[in-house]
Amino acid sequence: MKKYNKKHSSSNPHDSGASHVSGESVFIDDRPEQVGELHLAIVMSEVAHGKIKNIKTDKAKDHADVVTVLTGDDFCDNTWGPIVKDQPLLANKLISHYSEPVALVVAKTREAAYEARKLVEVSVDELEPVFSVDNAIANSSYLSDEFQICQGESKEALEKSKFKLEGIFENGGQEHFYLESQACISYPDENGNIHIESSSQHPTEVQHVVAHALGLAQHQVVCVVKRMGGGFGGKESQASHMAALAALATKATGKPCRLVLTKDDDMKITGKRHPFKNWYKVGFDEKGKINALEVNFYADGGAYLDLSPAILQRAMFHVDNAYFLENATIKGRVVKTNRSPNTAFRGFGGPQGAAVIESIIEDISQKLKVDSLEVRKLNLYDDSGLETHYGQKVENNFLPKIFSDLETKVNYKKWRKEVDDFNRSSVTHVKGLSLTATKFGISFTSKFLNQANALVNVHTDGTVQVSTGATEMGQGVNTKIQGIVSEAFGISPIDVRLMPTSTEKNHNTSATAASSGSDLNGAAALVACQEIKINLAKLAILKSKNDQEDEYNTERDIDTSKVHFKDNMITSSSFSYSFKEIVALAYMNRISLGARGHFKTPEIHYDVKKGKGRPFLYFTNGAAVSEVLIDKATGDTKILRTDILMDLGRPINEGIDYGQVAGAFIQGLGWATGESLEYADSGELLSHSPTTYKIPSIQDTPREFNIEFIRNNTNTINVRGSKAVGEPPFLLGLSAWNAIKNALHYTDSKTFDELTLPATPEVIMKQLGEGDLI
C-alpha cells in the first residue's frame, strides 16, 4: 500500500493501538467476574414462522446450576424497535424468523446455561414463511409504505431516448462479522437502578430500551461503553436487544448478569445488510449520456422494521452515486420476510443504491461498445452547481478532478490496452478493468439525530479529560477528538484523555454511525473548548496588565482575538505564559475549567412527502480503479491492483483515515465479490461461523494497493475542514465487481447484464456457462 505523505500528516497514533497489540485493551468479556455473577444463554426458535403454543421450562429449571428461565411474559413491556416498537424481546406469541430469541436461561456458569437451554421445549403451530422479495411482493407482505423521489419528466424522456435498457439488479446481504460478538453485563444498583456495560454503538438507546422494557424511568439506567471489538452498524440498534435481556435477568435475580453471544448464535440471531431486488429502466443517447432513469427498489427488511425505512431512503438518495440525473423517478418499499430483521451496516443503504447505477453504466458501455470510463465521465457531476434528483446542490465538487487525476496517475488508456491484449491471447483466464466512484452524503437522514454534546474538563496540572457520546469501535474516533482538543488548547495529545462513553455524562446522544461520529462529537468538544479558552485568554490578558483586585474578573468584555494557544503556551504580542500556569491561576481565582458543548448540524432539511431537500451537510468523494483476473475453469477471482483517490478535505488524522479507507474498501470488496449468506429451506442460516462464511482474507486483497488523498481546503462547513471517512470508501469495492462484469464482456457470456452481487466464483461460473470453459 502506498504510504501517506508525512509532510502533510497529523497522524497521532491510535489511542488504544499499543494496548490492542499487547492484549491489554479491556473488552466486555475481559471484565472480572463479580461474586455471584450469573451467565445467560438464549433459547432460539427452530422454525421460521409459527404461533407459539407453549414454552416448557421445567426441565431446564431442574438443572442444578440453573437459577431461573425467563420468557417474554417477564418483561414489563416485551416490545422494542429503534423506529417502531414492533419486535418482541423474547417471542411469546408468534415466531417470525428462524433463531428468534424465545427464552433466556440464567445459570451459575456459562456452560450450564448452554446445556440447560437445550432442555427448554417450544411448541409451535408452523405457518407458511416468506423468504424472498418476490414472495413478499406476491403476498403483499410489506413493512413500509412506498417512498418516491422524482426529478424532471422521466417517462417522457425515456420514450424519447435513442437507446433504452431495462432489467433487474439484485444484491445479497452481508454479515457484520465484528470480532467481538454482541456482549453486555448488567449490574444491579441501589434502589432498583441498573448499570449496563455494553458493546454498543448507541448507549442512549440501550438506556432507553432497558428502561422501557423493565418499566423504569430513564434516569434509573446508566449505560457505559468503553470500546467495541468492531461494530460496522451491527451494534447501532441490535445491541439494545441484548442489553434488555441481561437487564431482565438482573432485575429477576438481583445479581450481575453477563450475556456474551458465541459467534454462531450472534450470526443466527442478528440482522444483516439488506438484500435488495430492483427493477430499472434507463434511456441514453449514442454517447452514453443518461436522459432518464426509473428504479423501483425493494429492500428485504426481514421480520421487523428496525432501521429499514431510513436505509431504503439512503439507497434512493445514492442511486445517482456520482452521476447527474436530469430526469429520474425513484421509488422504494421495504418488504417483510421471515429472516432476522436486517439492520444498519456500513454505508447504510448507500452501497445498494450506488451499485445499481454503476452496473447500469457498465451495461450502457457494452451496448455502445465504448469504455465505461468514458460513459462515467460524460455523466459525472461537474462543478457548475448541479442538483441531485432530491434537490441538493452539489457544492465544492472535486469529482471531475478526482477522475482526471486518477485516470492520469494510473495511465488508464495504457492499462486498458494491456487488458485488451491479455484477453486476446489468454485461453485460461480473463481480465477486467473498471473505475467507479463514491459521492457519499454525510449526515443522519433523520434530522433530529444530527446533534451531539461533549464535556471537557481541564485539570489543574493542565491535563484534560473529554467525554462525548461517540463510541470507539476501533475506527479511531477517540484519537480524532483527542487531536481536535489538543490542537484547540495548543497542548500535547498525550495530555488529553478520552473517557468511556456514559449516558450519565452525555445524555440523549445519537449513535456513532452515519460516518458522523467525529464530525458531531468533535464539533461539540470544540464548542466546549472555545468556552474554556475565552476565560483562559481573558485571564492571561488581565495578568499581563497586573489588573488585579481581590480576584481576576473574567466576566468583563475583553477582546481575546489576538491570544493564541500553541506549543503548551498562551501568547499574544505582549505576553507569553505556559498553559499550565494560566490553568492553575484560573483555579485559584474560581474560574471554571470545565464546559459542556452542544452542536447541531446546520442547514440540513428534507421533506419525505415531496422527496426534496438538503439531507446532507456535504459529500465525501472518491474514485477507485480495479483490475481483476478470473480463472475461467473455476470462476476464482484475484484482484491484481486497486488505486484509490479520495477527497477528505483537511484530514484530522491522516494515518487513521488511510486505515479507514483501506478497511472500508476491503469490506466493500467482500460484499461485492465473496461474502454469501446461505440458508436451508427451513430458513435456518447455514453460513453462521468462520468455517462457513467467507470474509476477505489477505489473499483476497489487491496484490498492488495504492491510496492517495487530494488536498482540499474548500469544506469549511465542517470541523477543522475535514470530511468523514468511515463509510464512503466502502462503495469503492464496487470497482472490483464492475471489473468482473467488464471481464465477462470479453467472454462468450450472454448474460453479463444479469450479474448479481456478490460475484462469487459460483455466480461467475453460471455467467460463463459451459461454452466458455477450457
Would you name the residues annotated as active-site residues? 727
3-state SS class at 620: strand
Residues 6+ apart with CB under 8 A from 333: 142, 144, 145, 146, 147, 297, 298, 299, 312
- The answer to whether 592 and 393 are in contact (CB under 8 A) is no
- The answer to whether 373 and 387 are in contact (CB under 8 A) is no
C-alpha distances (whole Å) from 500 to each of 75, 197, 224, 699, 762 are: 29, 10, 7, 36, 45
Give the closest residue to 151 by CA, choosing from 610, 476, 552, 522.
610
Helix locations, 491-549, DSSP H:
517-544
| Burial (Cβ within 10 Å: 0-12, 13-18, ≥19) of residue 24 | exposed
β-strand pairing of 38-44 with 257-260:
parallel
- The answer to whether 70 and 78 are in contact (CB under 8 A) is no
To the nearest 10 degrees (0 to 180), the angle between helices 350-368 and 654-673 is 60
Give the closest residue to 430 by CA, choosing from 635, 704, 669.
635
Residues 6+ apart with CB under 8 A from 111: none
| Burial (Cβ within 10 Å: 0-12, 13-18, ≥19) of residue 368 | middle
Q: d(Cα 162, Cα 160) in Å, to the nearest integer?
A: 6
DSSP state of 218: G
3-state SS class at 183: strand
To the nearest 10 degrees (0 to 180), the angle between helices 399-410 and 412-425 is 50
DSSP state of 40: E
| Burial (Cβ within 10 Å: 0-12, 13-18, ≥19) of residue 23 | exposed
**And the C-alpha cell for 458?**
481541564
To the nearest 10 degrees (0 to 180), the angle between helices 734-745 and 350-368 is 20
Q: d(Cα 437, Cα 624) in Å, to the nearest integer?
A: 6
